[in-house]
């Protein structure tokens, strides 16, 4: 992946949750050109390289709120979109 991604595209993938600017693991994986599984796997294997608050899991209320942000996200789909 050698293309330059416009800043506007990246900014649209940033959300404010718990007073932190965050990106979904799916969006980060897409930006890096890897699968979500691979991204999460590498983060977990290299935790010492990341600050303690680098990644957290959404609670149910946050998950539902974020789901409502995506009008096209159907119930039953996107249920793994919990890591930020």
Closest CA relative to residue 41, chosen from 31, 28, 58: 28
Q: What is the mean pLDDT of each run of 10 residues along the chain (84 residues)?
A: 84 88 89 92 90 82 78 54 54
Domain borders along the chain are 7-69
Per-residue pLDDT, 70: 67
Write down the pLDDT at residue 66.
78
| C-beta of residue 84 within 8 angstroms of C-beta of residue 58 | yes
Report the C-alpha gap between 49 and 31 in whole angstroms.
19
Write down the pLDDT at residue 79: 54
């Amino acid at each position: 992946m050698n293309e330059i991604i416009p800043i506007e595209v990246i900014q649209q993938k940033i959300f404010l949750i718990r007073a932190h600017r965050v990106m979904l693991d799916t969006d980060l994986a897409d930006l890096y050109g890897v699968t979500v599984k691979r991204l999460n796997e590498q983060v977990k294997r290299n935790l010492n390289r990341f600050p303690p608050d680098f990644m957290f899991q959404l609670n149910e209320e946050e998950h539902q709120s974020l789901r409502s942000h995506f009008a096209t996200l159907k119930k039953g789909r996107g249920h793994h979109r919990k890591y930020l």
